[in-house]
Amino acid sequence: MTTAVAATGRKPATMSQALNRALRDAMADDPAVHVLGEDVGTLGGVFRITDGLAKEFGEDRCTDTPLAEAGILGTAVGMAMYGLRPVVEMQFDAFAYPALEQLISHVSRMRNRTRGALPMPITVRVPYGGGIGGVEHHSDSSEALYMATPGLHVVTPATVADAYGLLRAAIASDDPVVFLEPKRLYWSKADWEPGRPEEVPGIGTAVVRRRGTSATLITYGPSLPVCLEAAEAATAEGWDLEVVDLRSLVPLDEETVCASVRRTGRAVVVHEATGFGGPGGELAARITERCFHHLEAPVLRVTGFDIPYPPPMLEKHHLPGVDRVLDAVARLQWEADWTSPGSDSGDSRGSASGARGVPGTQGGAR
């Protein structure tokens, strides 16, 4: 993922730079694209994601608004009604809550209310998640709220390339997109060549980030690096883990998820958001419905605790880290004594392995 390819001009870039570039390119390509929010203009946003946009495109295109999230999103609704494509910034996850009424009562259902006459091509950028030492109300993961609201798309990049490609796709979408930006990956770097949004799979597509045969880790956003690290660590234990990056929570790419789980027979969903009523429950239910006969173990969840986001000095205990993921992987051996019914449906996960539950021999496809 981070291999430099000098011949194609790829250079190291951070996720925040890729997001900034996506906004800049979208604004250059389409005069209807307008950025608005608190501090997005002169300051360039507290995370500098909108850096330079007001200077390049003028304050009418990148507008510092009064400090009022409902007003920011509510005026964006009217702008969209008049043919613009507003991109609003919510600054921090918990700051978006005053705008929830506009989001839920209007943005998400305006197309539906008007039988298609008033689409809402609005992108709501929400920096989310913890791990940056933010004080209270600066680290929430509220994706379940957005996922539970029909009419919204919900996407979240985990890589530099996705940050660019998904944001371009979100802005181009004729439907409202809640674009969740994993704060603690803002400064993650990769060698990346901008200006190629078409190289990135669009909204509604998951990607297998690591091929494996023993079990599938299903994750997104800030937990992707955790899962990739866990997968590397697990090799020492003889586990060959597959890692699926959802990228898009709504729509959910169930085909990629289920295909992976059918291959590996085991699944762990990993996210920072609380487990109860969280995205992992939806995934576990769906996997169980669609892949029950392929499962060798219950679908497990590794999530944040069911608590309000903790103070920063305690957040390391809350956030799912590599060890917690590996513990879950170990628990996938729960049915070690259970005898396989044999080959079940011709898939390639090698369920006939003779030493089930002994990690080193898991996965006949290797």
Partner 1 sequence: MTVLEQPGAYRPTPPPAWQPRTDPAPLLPDEEPYRLLGTPAADALDPELLRLLHGHLVRGRRYNTQATALTRQGRLAVYPSSTGQEACEVAAALALEERDWLFPSYRDTLAAVARGLDPVQALTLLRGDWHTGYDPHEHRVAPLATPLATQLPHAVGLAHAARLKGDDVVALAMVGDGGTSEGDFHEALNFAAVWRAPVVFLVQNNGFAISVPLSKQTAAPSLAHKAVGYGVPGRLVDGNDAPAVLEVLTEAVRRARAGGGPTLVEAVTYRLDAHTNADDATRYRSDAEVTAWRSHDPVELVERELVRRDLVDADGLAAVREAAERMAAGLRERMNEDPDLDPMELFDHVYARRTARLREQAELLRAELAAAGAADGSAHGGGREGTDR
Taking the C-alpha atoms of residue 248 and residue 275, their distance in angstroms, rounded to an integer, is 18
Q: How far is the CB of 12 from partner 1 (least distance, A)?
A: 36
Q: Among residues 79 and 295, whose Cβ is nearest to partner 1? A: 79
C-alpha to C-alpha distance for 340 and 343, rounded to whole angstroms: 8
The whole-angstrom separation of Cα 295 and Cα 215 is: 10
| Burial label, 316 (beta-carbon count in 10 A; 0-12, 13-18, 19+) | exposed
Cis omega (within 30 of 0) for bond into 251:
yes
Nearer to partner 1 among residue 106 and residue 349 (C-beta): 106
Please, what is the minimum distance in Å from the beta carbon of residue 170 to partner 1? Answer: 13
Residue number with CB closer to partner 1 (66 or 346):
66
Query: How far apart are CB 106 and partner 1 at their closest, in Å?
Result: 6
Taking the least distance from each CB to partner 1, the nearer of 202 and 298 is 202
- Our CB check for partner 1 shows the closer of 84 and 228 to be 84
The conformation of residue 153, written as its DSSP 8-state character, comes to E
> Could you give the CA distance from residue 48 to residue 114 in angstroms, rounded to a whole number?
37
Sheet with 248-250, side-by-side order of all strands:
62-64, 33-37, 85-89, 123-128, 177-182, 153-155, 248-250
Rounded to the nearest 5°, which phi and psi values hold at 169? -65, -40
Q: Give the nearest distance from C-beta 61 to partner 1 in angstroms.
A: 9
Interface ranges with partner 1 (CB under 8 A): 34, 60, 65-66, 68, 70-71, 73-84, 86, 98, 101-102, 105-106, 109-119, 150-151, 153, 173-175, 204, 250-252, 254-255
Lookup: tokens for 214: 């023993």
| Residue of 106, 138, 271, 318 with catalytic role | 138
Structure tokens at 29: 């390509």
SS3 19: helix
The token duo for 205 is 């597509």
Closer residue to partner 1 (CB): 171 or 227: 171
Instruction: Write down how long the chain is.
Output: 366
Closest CA to 103 of 153, 57, 172, 43: 153
Judge contact between 185 and 152, C-beta under 8 A: no
Q: Could you write out the DSSP letters of every residue in 26-50?
A: HHHH-TTEEEEETT-SSS--TTSTT
Tokens of 13: 């870039």
Cα angle: 237, vertex 302, 263; to 5 degrees: 60
Smallest gap from residue 230 Cβ to partner 1 (A): 29
Closest approach, Cβ 296 to partner 1, in A, equals: 26
User: For partner 1, which is the closer residue by CB, 18 or 122?
Assistant: 122
Question: Is 138 one of the catalytic residues?
Answer: yes
- The least distance separating partner 1 from the CB of residue 271, rounded to whole angstroms, comes to 19
Q: Catalytic site residues?
A: 138
